[in-house]
Chain A
Amino acid sequence: MALLSIDHLSISFGGLAAVYNLSMEIEQGALYGLIGPNGAGKTTVFNLLTGVYKPKEGLIRLDGQDITGLAPAQISAAGIARTFQNIRLFRALSVIDNVKVGLHESFPYSTLAGVLRLPSFRKQEQAIDDRAMEILEIFKLGEQRDLLAANLPYGAQRKLEIARALATKPKLLLLDEPAAGMNPGETQELMDTIRYIRDELGLTVLLIEHDMRLVSGICEQLTVLNFGRMLAQGETKQVLQDPEVIKAYLGE
């Protein structure tokens, strides 16, 4: 059974169908790409998957569980984490605290324990700190742990967003244009990290990307969106050679 299955998903804004009748299935452990021209509705799909928008029609299932229309926090608990196209960090928090927010649900000591500094607080905070450092080290951000997130360079901010997403222990990781604004060296490093996340941490990754080098480099399967509708779907190589897809990207 697929980890994520999207069934006839539709949403419209002001009468305009942003996503229409979209179906796709992502297998456990897949590296899946969602591509398409600007305004095709890719980010809208992410917003539907993470509960920012409620779909007008359709069904979303994660690991067999129906998550259609759940609130964002519930979807996070169900196992989907994401990054944002326009980076959304907790800017006034330190780098490590950004990750610690992601660990929030995994270490649920009570408010009282926190305020009174009970043993459960001390024990769990230690574990939170250790775990957060482990995650930061994956992205080589350990040394910047006490820096404010807002003061990180751009590329590091994108990495920190992924680190924060990983901290929520997701089954499925959604990356919205992770390579945007990165130079070729940084993009290469990012590709390695994404592969590491899939191979070593066993996550399933769905990503939106315009950088074709990254898409063809790591995505095994693709869905192409155009005007909110599915244009092509399948193995990366075949999809990228599809004349319809080329037409949509390059125009007539």
Chain B
Amino acid sequence: MSQDWLLKVDNLSVRFQSRGGDAHAVEGVSFEIQRGETLALVGETGCGKSVTARSILRLVPEPPGKYVAGSIKLNVEGKGVVDILSASTKEVMAIRGERISMIFQDPGKALNPSLTIGSQLAEVFGQHRVEMILESAGIEPARASRAEKRIAKQRASFVQLRFFQLTRRSKAAALQKSIDDAVARSLADTGIPNPRKIMKSYPHELSGGMKQRVMIAQALACDPDLLIADEPTTALDVTIQARILELIQDMQKRRGMAVLYITHDLSIVREFADRIAVMYAGHIVETGPAQEVLANPQHPYTNGLLGAIPHRRTPRGQLAAIPGSVPQLIDPPEQCHFASRCQWAAEACLGHVPQLHTIQPNRKVACFRFEEAESLSVAKTDMPIPAEISGEARR
């Protein structure tokens, strides 16, 4: 399995320049994603999980963002390894959408309000599947004229398109049909009823769940190896959340793609993730198989996160919030970043930043006090872990 890694993030550090100094958004983050695997990157707002995710597609705006160190290696099947951070813009553009794709938190904001659903999806095919479009329109890609190529690429100007439609009627219709078919197929794949009708609608005419399905269709149109889902259900109604997540899982199984969930919702993690990486203040503090980490957290922060989840069986007033707030990211002190909020903090924690130690095969934790796990797990029983999260209710 370990040979079959798809994405390897190694010692990634991203900083943002600001007036008060550089904000260390992501510091020395390393993880691997295997083919077909589901990894969940968990943490609270501002911990660097979204920056990590966007770095994978090199979407962090530079400036103010800056990739200070590290590499993000993508194992492209049959083509070898590409380092996304040092690749050319053209290479990165070829990877985006084709190899790695992403869906966003708020589908309402992630679709262009002035284009129909159909033309937005057509963009993706125009970017990565020009040959397929031309072929299914009965045009040999090598012999396609400039105009035909431009139309397939969705680059034709209005005048050019009209002129082509007037002069080459049947070819124009064939091209349009070929594009429409591809779009309809990708929409139908995500379980959208009546895709031909939806294609002609504008985003504001669709419901939130429908828009998220369109987003997923757009992201998966070119069969990527990795899908990054940045809080895919946060903006949706609870009733639709499960369906969208099941859809992603279903697509994942059918296509054998890997999924990277960015989330703060631990119930998603429990249900859908194979492995989990907990982030805090730009560092990964704990990683391991999802079930094990949730059932037996080793880092005090993970422990705190689990305790902070409301649950219908939690008595009133017993929700255990983690005291304090996320430390400043601008020029952070050389110490365990969680120390100021940690009830087990000792002198050792203030000296330097703890590194990830392997504590069990597959499990790593960045805490100086994990050896005193006994004391931790004793304390842990104080915090009620919701049954749904720890998995007891389902078994």
Genuine A/B complex: no
